[in-house]
């Protein structure tokens, strides 16, 4: 891995969508139609939507630049959802007739069905990364959904074996990752929120499939593990899986562990279980419910720096900021940046 400055800041991926572009569904609409990943409605179609999304990306970029974030994303503004944006463009999935499934161990949702072999048939996010790189002069990152989370979030009517399905997804998403890699992103991240709930499966086949998805890339690779987006209507399932997961991940080939520490109130001492890794350290929660202070962020970062070097620690939000309002997301990034500046000064 290339060397970074102490406490290099970044984001997880998503930023809030403007309601004039992607209108959130009402509570009644969500009650009647609980399709997984579809919590809103695009307000434009065709070329007009593309123009509007480009504008939203420019604003997302500016938001991160203004907050002095070192490695930025496009805010995932083109994606209706971080996962279905990809499954709907791979062969093997059918969304014309959905299936009811319990995902993440407890949440009922209507999900797409896997009805044939999973194959990568065309580039999905190449234009997205190209657009982002043309608009900025600093390092960028891009995110892709990981194999275990795909298996957990769709209904298998073809493989009838989780590992086999995960393997074909890993091969398919690796082809997308290699196309992205040619454009020179700093980080290619694989999102695996399902890891936090199924540590046994992570040991059995999750790590193997993750490494297959991330194989032979020049970019730094990352895996993002969290306990899911906060929702005001339900409590998140926070299980004591991080100690085991971090120990397992220490021995894998992934460069960066993107971990939630703030929302779950986890002790930075857990970082002692991954001494060789760089850690994207979640130190602001991706929720409007609690606003941190710069001094608090600095204190958390300095506690983490008691375990790993400041060069290994990458301050960031816990997860994507899409659940936040635009104003809160802007405030969170500013606090993150200010807290990081304090930590850099105090760590000298």
Nearest-angstrom CA–CA distance, 77 and 44: 13
pLDDT tens-digit readout, 27-53:
666 555 445 556 678 999 999 999 999
What's phi and psi for 95, nearest 5 deg? -110, 10
CATH of domain 22-346: 3.20.20.210
Q: Give long-range contacts, CB 8 A cutoff, 24+ apart: 46-53.
A: 49/21, 52/20, 52/21, 53/21, 53/77, 53/78
**104 pLDDT tier (thresholds 50, 70, 90):** confident
pLDDT tens-digit readout, 240-295:
889 999 999 999 999 999 999 998 899 999 999 999 999 999 999 988 888 999 99
Q: Write the DSSP assignment of 33-79 as a string of letters.
A: --BTT--EEES--HHHHHHHHHHHHHHHHHHHHHTT-SBB--BTTT-
For the cut 80, the answer to whether the pLDDT of residue 106 exceeds it is: no
Q: What is the pLDDT of residue 40?
A: 79
**21 pLDDT tier (thresholds 50, 70, 90):** very high
pLDDT tens-digit readout, 82-100:
999 999 999 999 999 999 9
Radius of gyration of the chain (CA): 19
Q: Which residues have C-beta within 8 Å of that of residue 220, sequence separation ≥ 6?
A: 1, 2, 186, 187, 188, 255, 256, 278
Nearest-angstrom CA–CA distance, 143 and 186: 11
Q: What is the pLDDT of residue 8?
A: 98
| 117 alpha-carbon distance from chain centroid | 25
pTM (predicted TM-score): 0.94
DSSP element (H, E) containing 105: none
**227 pLDDT tier (thresholds 50, 70, 90):** confident
Q: What is the pLDDT of residue 231?
A: 60
Give domain limits for the chain.
Answer: 22-346
Q: What is the pLDDT of residue 41?
A: 84
For the cut 70, the answer to whether the pLDDT of residue 173 exceeds it is: yes
Report the percent of the chain where pLDDT is more than 90. Answer: 80
As a 3-state breakdown, the chain gives helix, strand, coil percent values, each rounded to 5, of 40, 20, 40
Q: Which residues have C-beta within 8 Å of that of residue 314, sequence separation ≥ 6?
A: 4, 7, 8, 9, 10, 71, 256, 278, 279, 280, 281
- Of 1-15, 21-35, 149-163, least confident by mean pLDDT is 21-35
């Amino acid at each position: 891995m290339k060397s970074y400055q102490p406490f290099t800041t970044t984001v997880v991926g998503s930023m809030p969508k403007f309601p004039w572009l992607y209108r959130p569904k009402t509570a009644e609409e969500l009650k009647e139609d609980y399709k997984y990943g579809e919590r809103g409605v695009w307000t434009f179609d065709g070329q007009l939507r593309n123009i509007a999304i480009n504008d939203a990306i420019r604003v997302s970029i500016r938001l991160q630049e203004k907050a002095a974030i070192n490695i930025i994303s496009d805010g995932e503004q083109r994606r209706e959802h971080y996962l279905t944006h990809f499954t709907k463009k791979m062969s093997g999935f059918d969304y014309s007739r959905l299936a009811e499934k319990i995902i993440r161990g407890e949440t009922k949702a209507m999900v797409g069905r896997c009805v044939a072999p999973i194959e990568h048939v065309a580039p999905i996010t190449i234009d997205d990364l190209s657009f982002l790189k043309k608009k900025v002069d600093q390092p960028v990152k891009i995110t892709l959904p990981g194999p275990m989370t795909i298996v957990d979030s769709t209904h298998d009517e073809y493989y009838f074996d989780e590992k086999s399905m995960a393997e074909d997804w890993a091969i398919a998403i690796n082809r997308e990752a290699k196309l992205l890699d040619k454009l020179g992103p700093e980080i290619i991240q694989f999102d695996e929120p399902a890891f936090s709930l199924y540590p046994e499966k992570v040991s059995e086949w999750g790590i193997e499939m993750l490494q297959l998805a991330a194989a032979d890339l020049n970019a730094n690779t990352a895996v993002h593990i969290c306990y899911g987006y906060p929702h005001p209507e339900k409590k998140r399932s926070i299980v004591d899986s991080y100690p085991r997961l971090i120990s397992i991940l220490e021995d894998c080939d992934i460069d960066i562990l993107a971990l939630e520490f703030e929302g779950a109130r986890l002790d930075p001492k857990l970082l002692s279980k991954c001494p060789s890794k760089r850690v994207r350290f979640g130190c602001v929660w991706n929720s409007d419910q609690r606003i941190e202070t710069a001094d608090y962020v600095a204190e958390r970062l300095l506690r983490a720096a008691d375990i790993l070097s400041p060069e290994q620690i990458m301050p960031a939000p816990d997860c994507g900021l899409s659940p936040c309002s635009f104003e809160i997301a802007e405030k969170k990034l500013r606090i993150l940046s200010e807290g990081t500046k304090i930590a850099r000064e105090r760590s000298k």
